[in-house]
Amino acid sequence: MDTALSVRKQALVSLSSLVTDLPHCAMLHELWLDGVLPMVMDKEASAQEKVISTLESIILDNIAPFNSQQAPRQRFVWELLSLVAEEDRMDLRRYVRRATELWAKQGKLGGALVRAVCSHTAHLPHQKAAWTLLAEMSQYVASYLDTNFVYDNWKQHSSVVSMETMAPLVQILTVIGNAAKNLAKVAREDMRDEIVSMLETFKVPPVVIQAAITTLSQICESLTRSREGYQAAVDNWCVPLLKKCELYLTSLIEDNSQSSLSEGGREIDEKEATCYLFAVGELCRLSPAHTSSHLTLVVHSLLLATREGDGEKPSFRSLSSQSSQLSGLTNLSFSPSLRALSYLTLGKLCLQDEELTKQVIPQLVRELQTSPHAATRNNVMVVLCDLAVRYSVKVDPHIPSIAVCLRDESLLVRRQTLTLLASLIQEDYIKWKGALFFRFISTLLDEELRVFAEFCLVHILLARNPNMFFQHFVECVFHFNGYEKHRVYNRFRQTERERELFSLKGSKHRDQRVRLYSFLLSHMTDPHRFQLTAKLCQEVLGGVVDKVIQLDESSIPVLQDTLAILTSKEIKLSSLR
């Protein structure tokens, strides 16, 4: 992450030398993956080329057909890939996906490599890693995949879905979908029917449901030649599944309306309800025309009607009179996790219904601010960010509420918020308005999030807008010191809660402010530093001299910070250091 390209390249070389010289050191495996893989996203093309070449020599060149007497280098590769395949390392898989894309462009993914990887799927210790790598490669190597190999593995892993077979099954479904056009037509039709039959049981976990529905969509696309034909093929299995979901969710209300409220509400089968609710969210995307208003109403009503497992009353309030009538009949008990999933489903329904979105957004924001459960806050925030893509104008006023999640007590919520806000800014769905930039930059002070925050700021956002740090720097000085008397800077509205959560004013936070100033300056060009020196002198020092800034207790910290910045080594031009 160092700003100097030469330092990043040397770190790559040094880490790679260590890990190849000490292939049995597990600690080095993780350090190498965390330090080297992210460089495939480096903003410098030469750094990308260097890391791709290194990954090729360490990983691709050492993948050979399975043999119980494999060389240490070959065993070492599968230890690395097994770490990448772990459930909590989705971030690493994103980098592997980028690496396979670049390898494919260079013609590095051939039939011999595919056959070698396939041979490891039958070896249990390597199975998960092999399928993970195949899933990432499959869209580029579909022509090398053998239909019988894919079909036989599908039959084997789908016959009994367990915790052991679930991860490979998801990857197998991904391979089937990506390679659908290259598989035999009969095999595609058989797998389509078998996947539908599996979904109709509603007994498989959400991660499998998602992969299965995506794969079915890809198979239908490969079997049809027109948009109309594709939609008809999708509706053929999608509509019956949606009807089953509607019947089940409606039954939760109707059955419970006959039981006494004094009994504390109906306890439901959590696993079963999870499958149906999750399926609704996935299916409505593919067949929006056949997603009935009654189904939407039922999902909406369930959130209003249910109480959480700890007995807390939900903050969600429906604006629909029909929904209120339905919910008045119920007193269902949803666990926090099931309630969190319900918000995801409602969000996916909102993407198909603008009127529903208008009703729901204020309620989602309220839930984001009041829910005691991290899973619910996380999912509501995800829904709002998804809606910001489709309905930017409607969500834009609530971006400050989403940004507050950058100070959430849950690392999951903070990290997810950072990821999604960075993506929305990168794609121009939201702008650096109000306090958003200062909220974002303050994540560099979060020790659990600092490295990822730096990656987002430097390699994603600054790479897209090289003037970003320069444009906001002067206002940072006013904002971080909580100075609100200037006629131009730091004039946006904030709630008291936002001020308290993000406050960096006072001498006790001086070191934190200096860290942020130093970071911003270290990622500026010499022309920016030169212009910034003049701007600070004009806006702050000149402002004090011209009485635009009254020298009092609130402005003295601004002046002190400015003088410290002007005398810092970071603001000096490179040639003068």
DSSP E strand stretches across 298-443:
307-308, 333-334
Q: Do 95 and 37 meet the contact criterion of CB atoms below 8 Å apart?
A: yes
> H-helix or E-strand containing 276?
helix 270-286
Q: How confident is the model at residue 306 (pLDDT cuts 50, 70, 90)?
A: low
Task: Provide the 10 A C-beta neighbour count for residue 324.
Answer: 14
Q: Minimal CA–CA distance to 257: which of 197, 331, 316?
A: 331
H or E segment and range at residue 133: helix 124-141
Count, in order, helices (H) and strands (E) of the chain: 30, 2
How is residue 477 written in tokens? 């000085």
- Which tokens belong to 573? 């031009």
pLDDT exceeds cutoff 80 at 496 = yes
Tell me how far apart the alpha carbons of residues 524 and 470 are, in angstroms, rounded to a whole number: 7
Surface-to-core class of residue 447, CB atoms within 10 Å of its CB (0-12 exposed, 13-18 middle, 19+ buried): exposed
pLDDT at 164: 59
| Confidence check: pLDDT of 325 > 50 | no
The whole-angstrom separation of Cα 441 and Cα 515 is 11
SS3 267: strand
pLDDT, position 82: 94
| Euclidean distance between CA atoms 121 and 108, whole angstroms | 21
Half-sphere exposure of 489 (CA within 13 A, CB side): 23
pLDDT at 253: 77
- What confidence score (pLDDT) does residue 349 get? 95
Among the listed ranges 86-90, 159-163, 178-182, which one has the minimum average pLDDT value? Answer: 159-163
Task: Give the tokens for residue 428.
Answer: 């121009």
Contacts of 55 (CB under 8 A, 6+ apart): 36, 37, 40, 99
pLDDT of residue 308 exceeding 80: no
Tokens of 386: 């998804």
Number of residues that this document lists for the chain: 577
Long-range contacts of the stretch 307-311 (C-beta < 8 A, 24+): 307/265, 307/331, 307/332, 307/333, 307/334, 308/333, 308/334, 308/335, 308/336, 308/339, 308/373, 309/333, 309/334, 309/335, 309/336, 310/336
Nearest-10 Cα torsion for 282, 285, 290, 295? 50
pLDDT value at position 71?
A: 80
d(CA 14, CA 290): 57
The confidence band for 302, taking pLDDT boundaries of 50, 70 and 90, is confident
In this prediction, residue 314 carries a pLDDT of 47
Residue 285 has pLDDT above 70, yes or no: yes
Q: What is the pLDDT of residues 213-266, one digit of tens each?
A: 999 999 999 999 999 999 999 999 999 999 999 999 998 877 665 554 445 555
Which tens digit of pLDDT belongs to each residue from 541-564? 999 999 999 999 999 999 999 999
| pLDDT value of position 552 | 93
Count of CA atoms in the C-beta half-sphere (13 A) of 439: 26
Query: For 436-442, what is the mean pLDDT?
Result: 97
**334 three-state secondary structure:** strand
Write out pLDDT tens, residues 79-133: 999 999 998 888 899 999 999 999 999 999 999 999 999 999 998 899 999 999 9
Q: What are phi and psi of 60, to 5 degrees?
A: -60, -45
The pair of three-digit structure tokens given for residue 360, joined into one six-digit string: 């729901």
Amino acid at 89: R
User: What sign does the CA torsion over 318, 323, 329, 335 have?
Assistant: negative
Predicted pLDDT at 465 = 94
User: Roughly how many angstroms between the first and final C-alpha of the chain, as a whole number?
Assistant: 21
Nearest CA to 302 among 278, 326, 335, 272? 326
| Separation of alpha carbons 570 and 577, rounded Å | 9
Taking the whole predicted model, whether its pTM rises above 0.85 is answered as yes
What interhelical angle do 90-105 and 45-58 show, nearest 10?
100
Q: Which residue has the tokens 């025309």?
A: 289
Q: Which of 442, 429, 458, 375 is CA-nearest to residue 403?
A: 442
Question: How would you write 404-420 as a 3-class SS string?
Answer: HHHHCCCHHHHHHHHHH
Here the tokens at position 33 are 């993956």
**Residue 333, helix vs strand vs coil:** strand
Question: pLDDT digit string (tens) for 30-45?
Answer: 999 999 999 998 888 8
Residue 256's pLDDT is 60
pLDDT in tens, 51-73: 999 999 999 999 999 987 778 88
Handedness of CA 391, 392, 396, 402 (dihedral sign): positive
Quick one: tokens of 173?
């479904």
Q: What is the pLDDT of residue 98?
A: 94
Average pLDDT along the chain = 90
d(CA 219, CA 133): 21
- The answer for 160, left when phi > 0, alpha when psi is -120 to 50, beta otherwise, is beta
| Per-residue pLDDT, 334 | 73
C-alpha dihedral sign at 410, 304, 364, 269: positive
Q: pLDDT class for 311, splitting at 50, 70, 90?
A: very low
Q: Which helix (H) or strand (E) holds 5?
A: helix 5-21
Residue ranges in 22-89 assigned as alpha helix (H):
26-36, 45-58, 72-84
Confidence of residue 140 (pLDDT cuts 50, 70, 90): very high
> Rounded CA gap, 370 and 458, in Å?
33
Beta strand 307-308 pairing with 333-334: parallel
Q: DSSP string spanning 386-408?
A: HHHHH-HHHHGGGHHHHHGGGG-
